[in-house]
A and B are shown apart, each in its own frame.
Chain A
Amino acid sequence: MKTNKLIIFFLILLIALFLQVNWRVAAGWSPEFVVGVLIVSAFYLNLLEVAALSVASAFFLGWRPVPNFEILLLIFLPLFIAYFKKYFPWRNDVNVLISLLFSISVFYSLTNFGALVSDFRIFSFIAAATAFFVFLMFHALNRLYETHQH
């Protein structure tokens, strides 16, 4: 497959952003599609490409004049996964799901732990829906590309 992986991921990111924004308008909550794309990208792209995609996501999702803690987490969690994936012991399709659940849990634990506990049912829906999206995306991309190794 000669098409540039980064461009494909950038297009998927835009689709994920569209889904996330509109889902939230319609339902008041949404799966974390953008985080999902970033986590999958950590398994297919190199560190610099993941950084580019994460920073672009931060630009699209930023809602304050100056980036705050949530936006910094959005940038650094995929980079953390991209760097440490070589130490994960399982198959990559399992690693990607565990990385996603880890990232979403860390994200909400650090940004709104109270809601994570009191609205655990909604959190479970969000995690399950995002995991399903990530599972489909990872396997679709796996037919086209090999995962990235250090």
Chain B
Amino acid sequence: MRRKENLLILFLLAVLFLIFFSPSLGWKFRAFLAPGASPNGDYKNTVLENDSLKTELAKLRSLKPAAPRQENLLPASVYSNYPFNFKNELLVNIGGENGVKIGQPVFIYSASSGYKILVGKVEEVLRNNSLVETIFDSRFQMSARVGESGVNSLLKGGNTPFLSLMPKDSKVAEGDAVYSASRDFPFGLTIGKVKNLRLSSDGFFMEADLDTTYNVNDLITVFIDTAYEPKK
């Protein structure tokens, strides 16, 4: 009996050691249990192209052209993601030493075509790692515009992110592009498309789900715009 207890204590200490000094073994084991991630970072080019072109069109028709902004998209490997419900965080392999700052936007990006989609923002920066809060996190919230008429809406994160507070008479249709219009992000970043457009339960507004066409749990590479200076 005493020997069994000693073995258990030894096991406990060994696992505690791994938790603090080699947590990546646990991340790798979890990744091994759930294979199926996209094999490369050049995420489904056609998906990016479709969604990004819709945003470009909407921006061209509804807005004056904005001055081009300098970007510095750093690729970051996704190490692990939040394992419980309601939050959606990714741990990536670049951090403060690489110039990452809290609030910088995070994308899926195709280097060959230049198209990109906003996935979330940097939430916490460590020396060599950063935590990204994705748009699938229930705490995530940002202003967004919809379609060619640039209808204002509030994007609320969650398992299925949704758009709310669109005026009832606004010209919005299924499949319209959704893009950023928040002071926390560069203007006009593609986020997704409108899906399941409906009247809100109180009948005063339109609301819709956000169609993202990618699975955030499949991502193995994202890009952080380290040139962006987040607003204080």
State the A residues within 8 Å of B (CB): 6, 17-18, 20-22, 24-25, 28-30, 32, 48-49, 51-52, 55-56, 58-67, 70, 107-108, 111-112, 114-116, 118-119, 122-123, 126
Contacts and interface: CB of A to CB of B under 8 A. Distances in A.
A112 B84 CA distance: 11
Nearest to B11: A52
A63 B87 contact: no
B19 A62 contact: yes
A32 B82 CA distance: 13
Contact of A61 (B25, B30, B36): B30
Contacts of A48: 5, 8-9, 12
Contact of B12 (A20, A51, A119): A51
Interface string B70-104: 00000000011111111101010000000000000
Nearest to A22: B34
The 8 closest A-B pairs by CB, nearest first: A115-B86, A115-B138, A63-B80, A25-B217, A21-B34, A28-B159, A61-B83, A59-B26
Given A21-B34, A22-B33, A60-B29, A28 B160 contact: yes
Nearest to B81: A63
Interface string B200-232: 000000000000000101100000000000000
Interface of B: 5, 8-9, 11-12, 15-16, 18-20, 23, 25-27, 29-30, 33-34, 36, 79-87, 89, 91, 126, 129, 131, 136, 138-139, 158-160, 215, 217-218
A55 B86 contact: no
Given A52-B8, A70-B84, A65 B34 contact: no
A116 B138 CA distance: 10
Contacts of A115: 85-87, 138-139, 158
Contacts of B91: 63-65
Nearest to A49: B8
Given A56-B15, A115-B138, A17 B89 contact: no
A146 B124 CA distance: 46
A21 B218 contact: no
B83 A114 contact: no
Contacts of B29: 60
B89 to A, nearest CB: 7
Nearest to B34: A21
Contacts of B85: 24, 29-30, 32, 108, 115, 122-123, 126
A67 B19 CA distance: 7
Nearest to A4: B4
A141 to B, nearest CB: 20
Contacts of B81: 63
Given A21-B83, A30-B85, A52 B12 contact: yes
B21 to A, nearest CB: 10
Given A25-B217, A119-B86, A122-B85, A18 B138 contact: no
A20 B26 contact: no
Given A28-B159, A114-B138, A63 B89 contact: yes
Given A21-B30, A28-B159, A32-B84, A114 B139 contact: yes
Contacts of A24: 34, 83, 85, 217
